[in-house]
Structure 1
Amino acid sequence: ARATVRNARALAQALHDRGFDVLAADLGFTRSHTLAVRVEREGGGESVAQRLAAVGVIANKNLLPGDTSPKHPGGIRIGTPEVTRLGMGEREMVRVAEILDDLLHRGKPPEAVAAEVAELKAGFTTLRYCFAAGEAAYRYYDLVGRDPP
């Protein structure tokens, strides 16, 4: 659990350093596995979540303090349990922030960003902790007849 929180804080700081409006900067960003980012400048929560999903990054659209309509959330929520479970650490959280920056601030084409995501994920295919530590990640998809994400 501590590694998950460290990763969440590292990701929050790295996003903040790249100009993202990460909530609770004055409080250390988070004390849990999630962080909230106001993304109105980047197109709003729903649009950003969809753009991230298109390149292989999962984030949830999220209402934030001050939002006036549940139909137009101003933020996204990002969690670090899955990437931590796969063995990513604080260095990789900086890389994740760079990838988000490439897509949402620098205007890098989605296809190029998707390749960056795939390259990062390729080095993390084994569970590091959980009930099946040391096994190939997403093996259960084979058991239920679905392709991994």
Structure 2
Amino acid sequence: MNPVPWDADGAAPDERRIQTTVALGGDGADIAHARHMAADFLAHVRAEHGLPVSRRAVDVTQLVVSELVTNARKYAPGPALMDLRIAGGTVEVAVWDSDPVLPVARAADAGRVGQHGLEIVMAVCQGFTAQREPVGKSITARIALLDEPAGALAGRQPL
């Protein structure tokens, strides 16, 4: 895996994004493979590009990847794509699948077993979007690379 820097919309070279994309074929190993790839990507960002990445960012990114890829495997037939990219002070995790139905977070229910993935993702991320694509949909979650000195999440307002 070699993340590819690219110029976004004619951005200056110092504004390049770092990203990598993987096709997920639909077998049982996809979720674990995607989690490992996310951790490797963030290690590469830290080691090769000198960007600070907190341990929490790695853990949360792996959790988000696990939830989004699990949903793609569970609800959409066929392959999926996962894109990881650094944008400002965040890592963006985007998962595309072939099902055009957008996910909806369910009301909190402590008695419900399962189906809490989207609630979890939305609770730990700094941003979340779901959009229909010409084929299927794309779900993107943004996770802060660093925590604030006081322990709060970067980019998130205290409650």
What TM-score do the two structures reach when normalised by structure 2? 0.29
What TM-score do the two structures reach when normalised by structure 1? 0.30
Structure that is richer in strand per residue: 2
Structure that is richer in helix per residue: 1
